[in-house]
């Protein structure tokens, strides 16, 4: 049976240092603060928002939610967003996307300060990930994967890692972060020819394609490590990952659950980014 790599021990480990860092910031008169900017009330956004607020309160980081109606005009939203963007008391911004069709995303991105882009969505921050520059902010989910691998002492040097998924949110930036740790990385996707063979050749398989239970035990070699980044809903309405957990658990040496795995760590990474941004104000 595989060792279950749960996210909560990683969160607790990160929380200890975060509490110390925030205490020092507050002693220096800097109160770390995140702005959550949301248009409308999508259930997924609200769920993530609640998780962020809860996690941040545990490490004494302030959060302010800026909620706007679905029918807000582009000009109104840009004006409101610029005010948040220019507020010196706000160190970071979490901006929920996609936007309604009435909002010009390119215009929002043009005014968005990369130093406040806590989820690494802007090209300036993505470019830093690709160039190995740690001064920016990586997307939170791939960084959460790296935090979990580090916590469980999984050495990536020389390991064959197959990443299933090529998005700019997870797959591509994660691959760059793995390369920086000396892994040998293969990026696959839903159109990869003989995906099973690519996965079976890997020491570590990371599933991030966004397809429920896409990978079963046939894709995993004996003793491989399986990291599931997917968050989906199965036919019974239950949360599940991109990996068929039951069939992979018997073959893998280590495996992350869904829920309770990578997603648990993501909000702690977001908190770390806000602390990092606040430290630049000391």
Render pLDDT for 203-221 as a digit per residue (tens, 0 to 9).
Answer: 999 999 999 999 999 999 9
Per-residue burial over 69-92, b = 16 or more CB atoms within 10 Å of its CB, e = otherwise: eeebeeeebbeebeebbeeeebbb
Is-above-0.85 flag for pTM?
A: yes
The confidence score (pLDDT) of residue 88 equals 96
Is domain 31-115 annotated with CATH 3.40.50.10860?
yes
The model's confidence at residue 26, banded by pLDDT at 50, 70 and 90, is very high
Determine the Cα–Cα distance for residues 12 and 9; give it in Å rounded to an integer.
Answer: 5
Instruction: State residue 282's pLDDT score.
Output: 80
Contacts of 115 (CB under 8 A, 6+ apart): 277, 280
pLDDT at 119: 97
- Measure the CA–CA gap between 14 and 268, rounded to whole angstroms: 7
List the helix and strand counts (H, then E) for the chain.
Answer: 10, 11
Domain boundaries, the chain: 31-115, 140-263
Distance CA 109, CA 82 (A): 11
* Sign, Cα dihedral of 72, 75, 79, 84: positive
Residues 33-56, mean pLDDT to the nearest whole number? 96
Tokens linked to 77: 């939203």
- Measured distance CA(188)–CA(175) in Å, rounded: 11
In contact, 276 and 18? CB cutoff 8 Å: no
Residue of 216, 211, 176, 170 whose CA lies nearest to 190 = 211
pLDDT at 1: 84
Peptide bond into 98 cis (omega under 30): yes
Answer yes or no: is pLDDT of 272 > 90: yes
- Give residue 238's pLDDT: 87
What pLDDT shows up at residue 56? Answer: 98
Joined together, the tokens standing for residue 229 give 């980044």
pLDDT at 35: 98
Cα 190 to Cα 164, 220, 255: the distances in Å are 8, 16, 21
92, 34 contact by CB (below 8 A): yes
31-115 matches 140-263 in fold: yes
Is a pLDDT exceeding 90 seen at residue 281?
no
Q: What is the pLDDT of residues 91-134, one digit of tens each?
A: 999 999 999 999 999 999 999 999 999 999 999 999 999 999 99
Which pLDDT belongs to residue 158? 98
Under CATH, which number does the domain 140-263 receive?
A: 3.40.50.720
pLDDT at 20: 98
For position 76, what pLDDT does the model report? 97
User: Beta strands of the chain (E only): which ranges?
Assistant: 3-4, 33-39, 62-68, 92-95, 160-164, 184-188, 204-207, 225-228, 232-233, 239-240, 254-255
Specify whether the CB–CB gap between 32 and 89 falls below 8 A.
no
pLDDT digits (tens, 9 = 90+) for 132-165: 999 999 999 999 999 999 999 999 999 999 999 9
Quickly state the pLDDT bin for 237 (edges 50, 70, 90). confident
> Are the beta carbons of 32 and 21 closer than 8 angstroms?
no
Q: Given this model, what pLDDT does residue 54 score?
A: 97
Phi, psi of 12 (to 5 degrees): -65, -40
Chain centre distance of CA 188:
19
């Amino acid at each position: 049976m595989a060792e279950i790599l749960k996210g909560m021990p990683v969160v607790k480990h990160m929380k200890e240092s975060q509490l110390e860092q925030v205490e020092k910031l507050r002693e220096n008169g800097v109160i770390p603060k995140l702005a959550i900017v949301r248009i409308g009330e999508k259930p997924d956004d609200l769920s993530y928002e609640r998780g962020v607020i809860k996690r941040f309160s545990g490490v004494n980081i302030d959060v302010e939610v800026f909620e706007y109606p679905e029918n807000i005009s582009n000009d109104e939203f840009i004006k409101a967003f610029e005010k948040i963007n220019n507020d010196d008391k706000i160190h970071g911004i979490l901006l929920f996307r996609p936007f309604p069709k009435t909002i010009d995303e390119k215009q929002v991105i043009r005014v968005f300060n990369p130093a406040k882009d806590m989820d690494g969505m802007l090209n300036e921050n993505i470019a830093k990930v690709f160039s190995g520059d740690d001064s920016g902010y990586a997307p939170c989910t791939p960084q959460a994967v790296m935090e979990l691998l580090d916590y469980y002492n999984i050495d990536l040097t020389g390991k064959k890692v197959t990443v299933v998924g090529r998005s700019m949110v997870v797959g591509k930036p994660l691959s760059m972060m793995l390369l920086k740790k000396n892994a040998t990385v293969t990026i696959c996707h839903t159109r990869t020819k003989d995906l099973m063979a690519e996965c079976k050749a890997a020491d570590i398989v990371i599933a991030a394609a966004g397809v429920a239970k896409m990978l079963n035990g046939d894709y995993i070699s004996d003793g491989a490590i399986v990291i599931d980044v997917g968050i989906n809903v199965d036919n019974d309405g239950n949360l599940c990952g991109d990996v068929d957990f039951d069939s992979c658990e018997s073959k893998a040496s280590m495996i992350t659950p869904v829920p309770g795995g990578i997603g648990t760590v993501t909000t702690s990474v977001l908190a770390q980014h806000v602390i990092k941004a606040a430290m630049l104000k000391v």
